[in-house]
Amino acid sequence: MGTWVRGKASGTPGRMRLFGALAAIAAIVFGLAGAWNLWSSAQALGRAGATTDQVVRVQSIYADVLRADADASNAFLVGGLEDPAQRADYEAAIKRAATTITAAASAQPADGVALAALNSALQDYAALVERARAENRQGLPIGVTYMTSASSGLRTTAVPILEALLQANTERSRGELGAASSSWLTLVAGVLAVLVLGLVSIWLARRTHRYLNSGLAGATVAVLVALIFGLVVFNGIGSDAKRVADNQLAGTLALTSARTAAFDARANESLGLIRRGQAGPFETLWKARDAEVTARLKALVGRVSWYGGSGTNASALSTAWSAYEKAHAEVRTLDDGGSWDAAVAKATTATESPRTTFDAFQAASATAVDGFQSALTGDIEGPTTKARIAALVLLLAGLAAAVLSTRGIAQRVEEYR
């Protein structure tokens, strides 16, 4: 066996075979490296999509938890005369939050422990709210303690968990989007393959005095074209990933954060009235959340491409929120002026009130979030498919280049004989 190998590798024909094998190996390595690099890019985009979906789930839980608290605290103000629609909205928000927690735990096992703690906090909150309702229906002052304890507990247990989950999954998503455009492996493998093919072609030309070998030339062109194609695809993926991160993802996060802050503000408005004569701390919290909503909506204007539907835009959402701010100010004026009953009536009535203006903002922002989330999902799937197709193209190009270089060398070996 060793004698046969040495025979095949001896002399000029033998060296031709060795260089031909080297050229074929370089082409195959390029094809495999490029395909793996692009396939990894597709996988990174897939993971980015999954973590982005998790961000949306967590934001949905966050919004529903505070939406439930806004409903519960506002309904508490009217004692045993709860609005059935508001009660139904509270129950739906609690149910959605619990269902989404289960879905989030299944989708991202790494978040399982935190989500289990969140679910426990949600159950504790709901139990306290029911106790508060029961006491409130009987006109017992202790109901106020239960209601404020429920809201306070929600913010000291559930909210920190939600904030941590949001930060972790947002960082994962941005990291995967960044990793998807990493093309260094394809570039290095491609440049090395072109160099090897070029050097083999030069050596062969000097040995045979035939300056063009169709097989090696074809292999070099195939690798070069595939390399350029791959780099163009990576550049496109990078551009798409940046666009998604700067627009669809940023817009989704801004809108969902604005909604979360809005529900919290609405809850603090009611809690300030519940703590009759002691609204100061809750009004401070309301103002902080109001500033956050305003800042989040302002960040959308002129900075993020709008995907929230043709029926609204960031400016329209800001206008809707301003209407609620005005209604809230009227409630505070009444309460601060000693007209607590009138303030409660204005805060809980279904017409020309914070409730009406807030519901208008809530509905418009929900539509916008749906539009951004749909665009986010679709625009991550597009580059993923592109990367997978490009991976197949580079693999086939590498194999084709290997075949062409082998045939080109074989032709010169036959001629040399």
Predicted confidence (pLDDT) per residue in 76-98, tens digit: 887 766 778 888 999 999 999 99
Hey, is 123 helix, strand or coil?
Answer: helix
- Evaluate whether residue 187 is within a structural domain: yes
Highest mean pLDDT among 105-119, 138-152, 298-312: 105-119
Which residue has 């800001």 as its token pair? 318
- CA–CA dist 126, 260 (Å, integer): 18
- Evaluate whether residue 128 is within a structural domain: no
Mean pLDDT of 257-275: 88
- Evaluate whether residue 245 is within a structural domain: yes
Q: For 186-195, 268-277, 315-324, which range has the lowest pLDDT when averaged over its residues?
A: 268-277
Which of 141, 144, 61 is CA-nearest to residue 97?
61
- CA–CA dist 233, 230 (Å, integer): 5
Those residues with Cβ within 8 angstroms of residue 391's Cβ, 6 or more apart along the chain or in another chain: 34, 35, 36, 37, 38, 39, 42
Q: Where is pLDDT greater, at 162 or 381?
A: 162
- Evaluate whether residue 72 is within a structural domain: no
Amino acid letter at 397? Answer: A
- Evaluate whether residue 158 is within a structural domain: no
Q: How many structural domains is the chain composed of? A: 1
Q: Where is pLDDT greater, at 118 or 305?
A: 118
| pLDDT at 416 (0 to 100) | 62
Long-range own/partner contacts, residues 200-205 (CB < 8 A, 24 or more apart): 200/19, 200/20, 200/22, 200/23, 200/405, 200/409, 203/19, 204/16, 204/19, 204/409, 204/412
- Evaluate whether residue 340 is within a structural domain: yes
| pLDDT at 352 (0 to 100) | 63
Q: Is the dihedral of CA 88, 90, 96, 102 positive or negative?
A: negative
Hey, is 286 helix, strand or coil?
Answer: helix
For 46, other C-beta atoms within 10 Å of its C-beta total 17
- Evaluate whether residue 115 is within a structural domain: no
| pLDDT at 4 (0 to 100) | 45
Cβ distance 89 to 64 under 8 Å?
no
Return the beta strands (E) in 106-197 as ranges.
none
Those residues with Cβ within 8 angstroms of residue 308's Cβ, 6 or more apart along the chain or in another chain: 251, 255, 314, 367, 368, 369, 371, 372
Mean pLDDT of 260-280: 85
| pLDDT at 391 (0 to 100) | 94
DSSP string for 229-269: HHHHHHHHHHHHHHHIIIIIIHHHHHHHHHHHHHHHHHHHH
**CA 393 vs CA 69, 245, 281, 399: distances in Å:** 54, 27, 63, 10
Model confidence band, residue 292 (pLDDT cutoffs 50, 70, 90): very high
Range(s) of the domain holding residue 303: 11-57+169-416
Q: Where is pLDDT greater, at 368 or 138?
A: 368
Mean pLDDT of 44-50: 87
Report the percentage of the chain scoring pLDDT > 70.
94
Which residue has 């909506």 as its token pair? 297
Mean pLDDT of 343-359: 80
Q: Is the dihedral of CA 289, 293, 296, 299 positive or negative?
A: negative
Q: Where is pLDDT greater, at 382 or 298?
A: 298
pLDDT score of 236 more than 80: yes
- Evaluate whether residue 256 is within a structural domain: yes
Mean pLDDT of 142-160: 89
Amino acid letter at 383? Answer: P
pLDDT score of 2 more than 60: no
- CA–CA dist 208, 413 (Å, integer): 10
pLDDT score of 120 more than 70: yes
Mean pLDDT of 226-251: 89
Query: CA angle, corner 68, sides to 63 and 71, nearest 5?
Result: 125
| pLDDT at 417 (0 to 100) | 60
pTM for this one?
0.80
Model confidence band, residue 118 (pLDDT cutoffs 50, 70, 90): very high
